[in-house]
Amino acid sequence: MQNDVSEPQEFSYLCTVKGHLLFRDKIGVRMVELHLDDIVKVDRVDADGKKYDKVSRIEAQSEEDDMYMQLDVNSDLYPMHIGEKYRMVLAQTLNLDGSAVTSYFPEVI
């Protein structure tokens, strides 16, 4: 029986260059295109009051681009505080070879 979920890939991060993530795996050096790669600083957390138990809305400003963002974060898993800096990276896929996601992980109820 064939399993739709691939085995975890072993890789080592090399660097980011001009909007691309470079990494080395068993085959060689590969590249994944990044849509955003920036450092953001948290300016405010739950400015309009806390609306949900486990979620905080952060407001952050990027350091390199003229970008302002509001982001809802699961604060139980990933608490964020005013003044902290984070690297924000967005890519089209989570697959390290750059291929599209063709399967999904069904929810377990």
Task: Report the CATH superfamily, name and number, of domain 35-91.
Answer: Nucleic acid-binding proteins (2.40.50.140)
Q: Considering only CA atoms, which of 87, 84, 86, 104 is closest in space to residue 95?
A: 104
Which sequence spans correspond to the domains of the chain?
A: 35-91
In the structure encoding, which two tokens stand for residue 13, read together? 């991060």
pLDDT tens for each residue of 40-52: 999 999 999 988 8
**What does pTM read for this prediction?**
0.61
In the structure encoding, which two tokens stand for residue 79, read together? 């608490």
What is the identity of the amino acid at 6?
Answer: S
CA angle centred on 84, ends 71 and 46, rounded to 5°: 40
pLDDT tens for each residue of 7-27: 445 555 555 555 555 555 555
